Chains A and B, each alone.
Chain A
Amino acid sequence: MNSVLDQLASDCLYAPEQDMWVRIDADGRGARIGATHLVSAHGQFMLFTPRPVGSAIDRDRSLGVMETGKTAMAIHAPLSCRIIEVNSAAVDNIHLVIADPYSTGWLFRIQPTQLESERTALLEVGEYREWLLPRLAEKLVPPIDDFYTEDFDIDPNRGY
């Protein structure tokens, strides 16, 4: 098995186009979401700027911004939702998103608003591996910024 694919968490659903994972609560009313480890291929993340709690976001629209040393990119919603919590630990320490993306590096707790119709767009881990395999090369374009270290001193409260 490909070592990159082995890193995918087996207890998540995946939104393939958005490179996001989803863990839906047992009662279906809430979910925790985050970025897959493949997102790190875009570069070493330095800042995570979420939209505010309470924001209503349609599927595939922006939940916030991730910034690397060279670019900024949107975090796309895997489901239409309302943001009910932001992982403040990830805001304070972006390294969590890189080092532990499927656990402590989660990004948002959300309340899905159209789960019934959108659930079918999410893939189980096995389906996601199959979807991903022929696309790995394009997903894993090497980052061009390599100067970031865990000790890089950035105050997350300053933003830009």
Chain B
Amino acid sequence: MPGDAHKLVIVLWSADPSRPTLAAAPFVYALAARALEVDVEMHFTSATVRWLLPGVADTAYTDAERTKTVGDFIREVKVSGVRLFACAMATHEHARDQSLIAECDGHAGAATVIAQTMNDATRTIVF
């Protein structure tokens, strides 16, 4: 890979459950990055954290043909080695007192994303 970066942080911000067709792109980017052996984290912020609530992603289709759900993508990226994090503040606002799906690796805050973004080894994409 050209360049020095070897880690990609994908921040989901606007691709929330109200617009599931927007959610495919960040997952496909994550898969492509993993196929190039880039270390990938996905951070679910704002209302996108609701993708990590049980049942939400499995009923949201990303395509008009209704062949693939956001839940399918979540499982696929997990198998490929992507780590998924729920924004702590977003969880407090949008998913308070609710358990998150098993694929979620835990909570992370804004400072975690900023610290990584300021690191030369990391690139960040926001959806």
Which residues does A use to contact B, with CB under 8 Å? 49, 51-52, 61-62, 64-67, 70-75, 144-145, 147, 160
The CA-CA distance from A75 to B53 in the complex, in Å, is 33
Give the contacting residue for B65; candidates A73, A74, A147, A160; CB below 8 A: A147
Count contacts between A and B, CB distance < 8 Å. 40
The CA-CA distance from A75 to B37 in the complex, in Å, is 11
* A103 smallest CB distance to B (angstroms): 25
Query: Quick one: given A51-B1, A65-B35, are A71 and B67 in contact (CB under 8 Å)?
Result: no
Chain B positions within 8 Å of A67 at CB level = 28, 32
Q: Are A65 and B2 touching (Cβ within 8 A)?
A: no
Q: Are B28 and A71 touching (Cβ within 8 A)?
A: yes
The CA-CA distance from A153 to B18 in the complex, in Å, is 30
**B residues 1-19 with Cβ under 8 Å of A?**
1-2
The CA-CA distance from A66 to B32 in the complex, in Å, is 8
Chain B positions within 8 Å of A75 at CB level = 35
Q: Is B84 located at the chain interface by the 8 A CB criterion?
A: no
Give the contacting residue for B37; candidates A49, A72, A74, A160; CB below 8 A: A74
Q: Fill in one digit per residue for B31-68: 1 if any A CB lies within 8 Å of its CB, else 0.
A: 11011110000000000000000000000000101011
The CA-CA distance from A2 to B36 in the complex, in Å, is 34
